[in-house]
Structure 1
Amino acid sequence: MPSVARTTPPTLDATRARYLAVLLCLTSGSLDAISFLALGEVFASVMTGNVVFSGIALVSGDGAVLLACALALCSYVAGVVVGSRLAASPGAEVEGQHWPPGVTRALRCQLGLMLLLCLGWVLADPAAHDEARLALLAGSAGAMGIQGAAVRRLGVTVSTTYMTGALTTVIESVALGKGLPPGERAAALGLVLLCVGAAIGALAVTEASWPSYLVPATFLALTLLMHGLVARRSGRSEARSSVR
């Protein structure tokens, strides 16, 4: 009897999907550190902070900071639009999937943008050219917008770009003696990885001679690679179960 081709990707359980997504905090932390230290003291993903910086700049009359914040905000919005459409494109939703194929599609687009930013860093020194610095900032915020939108399409609740809520949830669980259920444990790990990513990103800006963008791009590529390996393993397990 001829074999039937697989028409749907292997499913990931909620725990695997959640912890794979949390790895993206390394990308967020490193890119925020790079943008803050090298691209004008604004963030690529923490838009709440940029809104606060905008208010301060309005009062102080700092036009450069105001321009950088406005550019980051607009670019992040554009990234969310692109990421939302990619992650929710036809065929992106598969019933029972905690990590729909559309999420992978959006993150691959983000990785492509990150690699372009690496090239831009090499071709135009952001420390010497304001135009290059602003262009890299726009690309960075756009990349984080894509990531933020993609993660919202997951079948689990997790954040990789705005972590204040995650911190509140973790502290609340500890304060009330509830312990940390799986979601809160993943959130706690995400906070740690965000800090680790920021530290590595800062080192890349201050110490490394190669383009700093290689750090978040590498973290993102490794996350996608791990997702592929885990999904393939899940697919083999499902195939063995169906034979039985």
Structure 2
Amino acid sequence: MTTTETTDAQEHDPDARGLRLVPVLLALTVVSGIVDAVSYLGLGHVFTANMTGNVVVLGFAAAGAPGFSAPHSLVSLGSFLLGAVVGGRLSRRHADGSRRTWTRVTLVAEAVLLGASAAVAFAAPGATGTVYTLIAVTAFAMGLRNATVQKLGVRDLTTTVLTMTLTGLAADSRLGGGAGTRSPRRTASLLAMLGGAVLGGWLVLHHGLGIPLLITALTSGVLAVTASGRE
């Protein structure tokens, strides 16, 4: 295909314009690491992006382990599920349209929700209501995004859960008897989550909750503007 033909194709296909989904989802994985650092370190040992961990935390709380809160975990789970319901409806509404539009709508919503969370964290950092508000809003945002990511179906990039990614990385590696052809993407996902957790943890410990939440909102906003529908 010539340069002119490529340009013409991009002009008629909105999904062909912008940043591909793979780097977008990797950036969102970093955001997830930051969000979970905020929630676990700053909101009472609860996860709002990683629901696998949150279910385990709920079990700890139910068993009476100190430092864990069943209400916090239940609010997180309920809000995440509500966000996923909304995300599922959005996915079906845009199923026959452009993936670019569908992705951008979700990321705009995520940016707004995380931005609102940052505003609350700056305005009333020590209030009891702030903790529940931040848990509910960030969990809702993550549920909304996860429903969209699941429907997009980009392999090895869930943006929040790494158990199956790590399993595939090991089982499909040359050491495990596989070809290892998908190892770079899986490794990138692992490093993105780790990097987000390190950054988020450092920011929470040294600067509170508002700044890391603001960073996540700005990142999601930039991705909303630049994302395409291409893998």
The alpha-carbon deviation at position 206 of structure 1 amounts to 1.3
- Residues 40, 68 of structure 1: 8 Å contact kept: yes
What TM-score, normalized by structure 2, do the two folds share?
0.83
Superposed CA deviations along residues 34-81 of structure 1, whole A, max 9, x for unmatched, are 110111111111111111121222121769611111110001001101
Are 1:23 and 1:190, in contact at CA under 8 Å, matched by a contact in 2? no
Match of 1:217 in 2: 217
In structure 2, the partner of 1:57 is 61
Any stretches of 5+ residues in structure 1 without a counterpart?
Answer: 1-5, 232-244
1:171 aligns with 2:170: yes
Q: Deviations over 1:131-160 (max 9, x none)?
A: 211111111111111111111121522311
Q: Select the structure of larger CA radius of gyration.
A: 1
Q: Which amino acid aligns with 1:153?
A: K
- Distance (whole Å) between structure 2 residues aligned to residue 113 and residue 88 of structure 1: 21
Question: Normalising by structure 1, what TM-score?
Answer: 0.79
* Residues in 2 aligned to 1:201 and 1:115: alpha-carbon distance in whole angstroms: 16
Amino acid at match of 2:15: P
SS where residue 41 of structure 1 aligns? coil
Alignment partner of 2:46 out of 17, 42, 45: 42
Counterparts of 2:91 and 2:200, CA distance in 1: 27
More displaced, 15-24 or 147-156? 15-24
* Aligned-partner Cα distance in 2 for 1:33–1:133: 14
Question: Structure 2 CA distance, aligned partners of 1:219 and 1:56?
Answer: 33
Structure 2 residue ranges without an equivalent (≥5): 1-10
Determine which of 75, 85, 90 is the counterpart of 1:86. 90
Supply the AA of the counterpart residue of 2:127: H
2:114 equivalent to 1:118: no
State the distance in 1 between where 2:41 and 2:168 align.
29
Residue 190 (structure 1) shift = 0.8
For the 8 Å contact 2:103–2:227, the answer to whether it is kept is no
Secondary structure in 1 aligned to 2:58?
Answer: helix
Residues 69/134 of structure 1: CA separation in 2 closer, same or farther (3 Å cut): same
CA deviation string 1:93-131 (max 9, x = no partner): 34xx7x442122111111111111111111211xx2222
| Alignment RMSD (CA, Å) | 2.7
The alignment covers a number of residue pairs equal to 218
- The answer to whether structure 1 residue 9 and structure 2 residue 7 are counterparts is no
Asked whether the 8 Å contact 1:103–1:153 carries over to 2, the reply is no
- State the AA in 2 paired with 1:93: D
Change (3 A) 1:155 1:48: closer
Match of 2:188, as an amino acid?
L
The residue number in structure 1 matching 2:33 is 29
Q: Which residue of the partner structure matches residue 105 of structure 1?
A: 105
How many Å separate the matches in 2 of 1:61 and 1:178? 41
